[in-house]
Chains A and B, each alone.
Chain A
Amino acid sequence: MMSLVQALVNGLVSGTLLAVPAIGFSAMFAVLRFPNFSVSGIATLGAFAGYVAYGAGLELVGSLIAAFAVAGVVGLFFDRVAHLPLVKQGALPAAIASIASGLVLENVIRLGFGNDLRGFDRPIARDMHIGDIRVSPQQLETMGIALAIMLAVFAALAFTRIGKAMRASADNPELAALKGIRPQRVTMIASFVGMGLVGIGGMLLGLDSSIDPLTGTRILLSIFAAAVLGGLGSPMGAVLGAFLIGIAEELSVLTVGSPYRAAVGFFAILIVLTLRPRGLLGERAF
């Protein structure tokens, strides 16, 4: 029983970390209308940008901003140059192009940094015990950062002009354009912010473990599964999906064994696409 509760707690922690890039992924899908698989490369890029910034003496927050900015700018560049011109042909060509961009990014990073593992030089502390449940102070900190970022994103979507414009564009691009919202601008902002969030996600995941050129690729399936589960295009759904995937992955360790973790993601996608193709929260649930 205790192990079950502990696994749930662990799942919540990893779910929170997963939620940040999943929101980015889902928000981009809402506006750009294709699944942007270059998030694997962008998450790695964010992790490395944060790593360089952290090494240069920027504190945690500064490094997160660096991760956000670099990932956002490069992500926007790839969207403009490689993906968006293809969206007119349909979501599939753009999605395939984005897989290619992810590979390009991964290998450019490999060219610059090599295959070596790198870690953020952060103190590793023993866990705290709350009753019989273990929590790591660092993971609580990372979790807090992730929650704060999520809150900021949702506040921006709900209350700012640009947030409202994004939601309007996602809901009905033609109508939004008629109302004077410039779709081009909204697309650029969605792409920048979405990719920035993915970059932050990559760094947050790297903070706790280590980073190498495959960092993003390792979490790509979980991000995608979380977004599909919650409803592609719904940031709130992505959060819910991320928690569910995080918990399911940890519970799978207790039940079927950890090597089947990847199967959990695929299984979730399969079930959702079969029973509720729109995802748990549907597409427009901001």
Chain B
Amino acid sequence: MTRIAFGRRAALLTGAAAFAAPAVLRAQSDPIKIATLTPLTGAGGPYGPVMAKVAASVVEEVNGAGGVLGRKVQLLSEDDQTNPDAGVRAARKLIDVDKVAAIIGTWASSVTTAVAPLCWESKTFLCTVSGADSITQLPHQGFLIRTQPNSTLQVARSGEFMLSLGARKIYTMIPQTPFTQATIDLMGKLVSKAGGTHQGLVYDDKKTTYRTEVDQVLRTNPDMIFAAGYTTDTVVLLKDIYRAGYKGKIIGFGYSINQKLIDQIGQPEVVEGVYTYSPSPAEGSTAFERVKKATGLANPDPYTCQVYDHANLVLLAMAEAKAATGVAIKDNIRKVAQGGGTTVDNAVDGLKAIAAGQKVDYTGASGPCDFDDKGDIIDCKFRYEQIKGGKITLVKVA
């Protein structure tokens, strides 16, 4: 998987080459440095290598078309090992030694939370795919954006979907998490606005049975249950809901209600008809097609699509600013990401348009890539699926 072995060796080689060149030439051809910091090992190990690969493909394309601001772009790639300690060490190296302008692709929320302060202190721009609400609430002074929808956006979308299915009496069953109260409040507002009723029950995710909880919920005759837990507790919960004879609809997060959960329960009728939803890349978009080509994957994961967008956005922001620093990216990234203008789906086209004096609006593989002041994306596509006969089948991407 780790075919892109940039990192130290590549850095040394480029460094040596740079020193061998005459001084005048060196000043002109000093490359612009950006870096991926993705999990090549650890829990994020299945994602990180492809993420780094797609970023490398963007840089290669841009260099092939003449680079940015007349300079080549050099992509460094480090492994955060899905571990905050290792992430911080790697980030320190990238910031202090390599002096990169931007770090892209941090995956685990814990890693992003640890790395973010190093970035804003050193005025290095950070693009992340981590989802925890708390990340954009950090005092990052604008040096951070994320392309993963936060839980507020996720819950709002699920609520709208439930209402569209005709549900009017919705019950949310959710364990204690950082987003529990926010989820219940938000669902309450959404549902009551649509003329329905909503109730929430917070459960203990370490219990081995939820019979009493399920009884309490079913007493209100809900027509939809939002099972907002993680896989471990949702397995127990769904079994107990089935045993209790519930006939209404059920929906849950895609990271929890997945094929693993279906296999675990082992009896298709228990999960028959259960809905699940998750943030989706902009399938069918031209940028998504480009990611497919660059990675050679028929179905690239959302994180890979997001990192593709990170790389493009960062390079476009530099071109727009006519400067290759973290501050320049911070001040200009929204100018190239949103606000109308020529729609572009890759950096090469965007760089040409910017050079021609046009305003560009980047639309990426992960979605429209428009950001609010805190650095959260304003909108993205979601993938709604339903379990039928033990298989997850697509309902819609919207």
A interface vs B, CB < 8 Å?
A: 3, 6-7, 10-11, 13-14, 17, 116-119, 121, 123-127, 134, 136, 205, 208-210, 212, 218-219, 249-250, 253-254, 257-259, 261-262
User: Known contacts being A119-B266, A212-B232, is A124 close to B204, with CB within 8 Å?
Assistant: no
A127:B244 contact, CB within 8 angstroms: yes
| Cα(A141)–Cα(B175), bound, Å | 29
| CB-defined contacts of B152 to chain A, threshold 8 Å | none
| CB-defined contacts of A134 to chain B, threshold 8 Å | 211, 215, 243-245
Using A124-B270, A253-B212 as known contacts, list a sample of 8 further A-B pairs with CB atoms less than 8 Å apart, ordered by residue number in A: A3-B215, A11-B212, A17-B208, A117-B232, A210-B236, A219-B208, A249-B207, A261-B206
Partner of A261, one of B207, B231, B260, B261: B207
Interface membership of B294, Cβ < 8 A: no
User: Known contacts being A3-B219, A119-B266, A121-B266, is A209 close to B236, with CB within 8 Å?
Assistant: yes
| CB-defined contacts of A253 to chain B, threshold 8 Å | 203, 212-213, 216
Partner of A117, one of B202, B231, B243: B231
| Cα(A250)–Cα(B213), bound, Å | 9
User: Known contacts being A119-B265, A218-B206, A259-B203, is A127 close to B243, with CB within 8 Å?
Assistant: yes
| Cα(A126)–Cα(B219), bound, Å | 17
| Cα(A127)–Cα(B242), bound, Å | 9
B204:A259 contact, CB within 8 angstroms: yes
A205:B208 contact, CB within 8 angstroms: yes
Partner of A6, one of B212, B245, B261: B212
Interface membership of B235, Cβ < 8 A: yes
| Cα(A254)–Cα(B219), bound, Å | 12
| CB-defined contacts of B206 to chain A, threshold 8 Å | 218, 261-262
Instruction: Mark each residue of chain B from 221 to 261: 1 if its CB lies under 8 Å from any CB of chain A, else 0.
Output: 00000000001100110010011110000000000000011
User: Known contacts being A6-B215, A7-B212, A250-B212, is A259 close to B176, with CB within 8 Å?
Assistant: yes
Interface membership of B69, Cβ < 8 A: no
Q: How far is the CB of A246 from chain B (nearest CB, A)?
A: 10
| Cα(A205)–Cα(B208), bound, Å | 7
B209:A14 contact, CB within 8 angstroms: yes
Interface membership of B267, Cβ < 8 A: yes
7 closest residue pairs by CB, A with B = A218-B206, A258-B203, A209-B236, A253-B212, A10-B211, A261-B204, A250-B212
Q: How far is the CB of A184 from chain B (nearest CB, A)?
A: 36
Name the CB-closest residue of A to B210: A258
User: Known contacts being A117-B231, A218-B206, is A124 close to B260, with CB within 8 Å?
Assistant: no
Interface membership of B134, Cβ < 8 A: no
B interface vs A, CB < 8 Å?
A: 175-176, 201-204, 206-209, 211-213, 215-216, 219, 231-232, 235-236, 239, 242-245, 260-261, 264-267, 270
Name the CB-closest residue of B to A14: B209
| Cα(A202)–Cα(B207), bound, Å | 13
Partner of A124, one of B207, B208, B232, B242: B242
Q: How far is the CB of B386 from chain A (nearest CB, A)?
A: 20
| Cα(A253)–Cα(B265), bound, Å | 25
Name the CB-closest residue of B to A118: B264
User: Known contacts being A125-B243, A127-B244, is A209 close to B209, with CB within 8 Å?
Assistant: yes
| CB-defined contacts of A257 to chain B, threshold 8 Å | 202
| Cα(A248)–Cα(B204), bound, Å | 14
Q: How far is the CB of A123 from chain B (nearest CB, A)?
A: 7
Name the CB-closest residue of B to A6: B215
| CB-defined contacts of B203 to chain A, threshold 8 Å | 253, 258-259
Interface centre among A14, A17, A127, A253 (most CB of B within 10 A): A253
A258:B209 contact, CB within 8 angstroms: no
Partner of B208, one of A6, A14, A119: A14
| Cα(A212)–Cα(B219), bound, Å | 31
B202:A258 contact, CB within 8 angstroms: yes
A209:B176 contact, CB within 8 angstroms: no
| CB-defined contacts of B175 to chain A, threshold 8 Å | 259
| CB-defined contacts of B264 to chain A, threshold 8 Å | 117-119, 210
User: Known contacts being A7-B215, A116-B260, A253-B216, is A209 close to B208, with CB within 8 Å?
Assistant: yes
A117:B235 contact, CB within 8 angstroms: yes
Some 20 contacts from A to B, beta carbons below 8 A apart, are A3-B215, A3-B216, A6-B212, A10-B212, A13-B209, A13-B211, A14-B209, A117-B260, A119-B265, A124-B270, A126-B245, A127-B243, A134-B211, A209-B235, A218-B208, A257-B202, A258-B201, A258-B213, A259-B202, A259-B204
Interface centre among B207, B239, B244, B266 (most CB of A within 10 A): B207
| CB-defined contacts of A117 to chain B, threshold 8 Å | 231-232, 235, 260-261, 264
| CB-defined contacts of B239 to chain A, threshold 8 Å | 124, 208-209
| CB-defined contacts of B242 to chain A, threshold 8 Å | 124, 126
Name the CB-closest residue of A to B237: A209
| CB-defined contacts of B215 to chain A, threshold 8 Å | 3, 6-7, 10, 134
| CB-defined contacts of A118 to chain B, threshold 8 Å | 264
| CB-defined contacts of A219 to chain B, threshold 8 Å | 208
| CB-defined contacts of B216 to chain A, threshold 8 Å | 3, 253-254
Name the CB-closest residue of A to B201: A258
| CB-defined contacts of A258 to chain B, threshold 8 Å | 201-204, 207, 212-213
A123:B204 contact, CB within 8 angstroms: no
